[in-house]
Amino acid sequence: MSTLGERIRQLRKQRGKTLAEVAEGRLTKGMLSLIENNKAQPSMESLTHIAEALETDPQSLLADVNVITEADLRSLIIQLKALLTNHRYDDVASLLTPFAGMTLPHTYEAAQFVRDLGKAYFYKSQSIHQTDTGLFLLEKKTVNSTVDENNWRTYFENAEQRFIELSFLDEAANTALDYIEYLTFELEYEKAIELFTKKQAAYADQIKDFDPLTLSKWNFQEVALLMIMGKSDLGRKRLKESLTFAIEKRQFYKVDQYYRFAIHFAMLAKDEKEVNYYLHKHHLLTELLEDDYLKSIHTLNKAIVAIMFENNPTKALEVINDRKNFVRKDDTLRILFQHIYGQALYELKRYKESLHYLPSINEYPFRIHVLDLSMLTTADAYKALCYAKLGEDEKARVHATKAKESILKQNYAIDYHKSFILQTYDDIFKEV
């Protein structure tokens, strides 16, 4: 009894066709190679295309293929979920070894299993670690795209297609949203935006029928991507609509992040009433949940509003000093607190102290979200201004140049951060 991959490869060679000739632009040569080597499962759409290219039909390819039994699949699902829960991603390959080359049944459980495999391989290939607070800390790592585990994308695509074929459209949409979210973890924003736009069109007729939780996730992803793209007016509008929907349906998916987004949008619109309203709402949520991580976020929000909206650096320092113990040493929030603290010290003309706090992004083993990266890039601009005030002109030029070069490489930098950095660069080189 042969595996599906072996049957495809054998028939392809009998027909005298290359990988490229069978793929024919419908799937990549790499993906077809993975399928032939039993390292990826084709969707029914891909299987149909392969069968047509090989002048046969899907049923003939699947005939007598070794299929994982339902009992084995249920056992695999339980073991895989345990590995995911305990972040033991390196053990996934050994779990699957006895079943290499077998074909999964056409069931809901199989689709879930494939999606979980995608998550496991994504975590493994990108060295992602999950903290107790739920933050993902991503180590800087050069990814070898030839490693099998780095084809995690194909697992999400396969799982989504399986759910669609079984008419579980909510699960299909959630799988697509997971895929998009992981692309943003990878800082692949263009791909994430492109994929969301594609899926929004694909599910246009079904979106209204999604269950409230799925639609809440869909709405959140849209608002997050609008924020990344800098579409403030539309983002603000969709955020309000999404919050209204969440309240009406009692679905409070990531509502704390909604409030943080809302504060950002309100600051861009210079709407003081709205800034204070959402800051208060976030405070109420923090008090209700009694969560230290949320307290850290709320403190950060207050400090940012104080220095960037109220022009009150003294208040920003007081806010951070009052609540700084909420931030753990290994938390990515610490770098944001340091930045605001250093910026406040600069505004108070305490230049030497400011230099001590302003962070150097390259020293941190994390990938920084695009909006935070935009803000943190201004640290070098503030360093340049500090050195200029202290009469160290060469250091001022070095940091002004570093900030400019960095911000120009960022496709989604916030406009006022970019303007500040470019103006600082011009001022530094004009003065010195």
143 pLDDT band, cuts 50/70/90, is very low
Tokens (6 digits) for 420: 């500040």
228 pLDDT band, cuts 50/70/90, is confident
CB 146 within 8 A of CB 137: no
- The pLDDT assigned to 109 comes to 92
CB 385 within 8 A of CB 346: yes
> What is the C-alpha separation between 211 and 394, in angstroms, rounded?
59
Q: Could you tell me which of 381, 384, 376 has the C-alpha nearest to residue 359?
A: 376
> What is the C-alpha separation between 245 and 219, in angstroms, rounded?
9
Q: Tell me which residue has tokens 């246009």.
A: 204
Q: What is the pLDDT of the chain when averaged over all its residues?
A: 84
For residue range 28-51, list pLDDT tens digits in order. 888 888 888 877 777 777 888 888
- The pLDDT assigned to 432 comes to 53
Q: Could you tell me which of 55, 62, 41 has the C-alpha nearest to residue 111?
A: 41
- The pLDDT assigned to 330 comes to 53
Q: What is the mean pLDDT of residues 385-407?
A: 95
95 pLDDT band, cuts 50/70/90, is confident
Higher-pLDDT residue of 65 and 236 is: 236
Flag whether pLDDT at 170 surpasses 90: yes
202 pLDDT band, cuts 50/70/90, is very high
Tokens (6 digits) for 258: 């909604």
- The pLDDT assigned to 402 comes to 94
Q: Could you tell me which of 93, 95, 4 has the C-alpha nearest to residue 41?
A: 4
Flag whether pLDDT at 129 surpasses 70: no
- The dihedral formed by the CA atoms of 186, 189, 195 and 201, expressed in degrees to the nearest 10: 150
For residue range 339-380, list pLDDT tens digits in order. 999 999 999 999 999 999 998 877 665 667 777 888 889 999
180 pLDDT band, cuts 50/70/90, is very high
Q: What is the mean pLDDT of residues 209-232?
A: 89
Dihedral of alpha carbons 329, 335, 336, 339, sign: positive
Percentage of residues in the chain having pLDDT higher than 70: 89
Q: How far is CA 159 from CA 81, 124, 407, in A?
A: 16, 19, 37
Beta bridge partners of 137: 129
For residue range 53-86, list pLDDT tens digits in order. 888 887 777 776 777 888 888 898 999 999 888 8
- The pLDDT assigned to 128 comes to 54
> What is the C-alpha separation between 127 and 103, in angstroms, rounded?
29
Flag whether pLDDT at 158 surpasses 80: yes
Contacts of 17 (CB under 8 A, 6+ apart): 53, 54
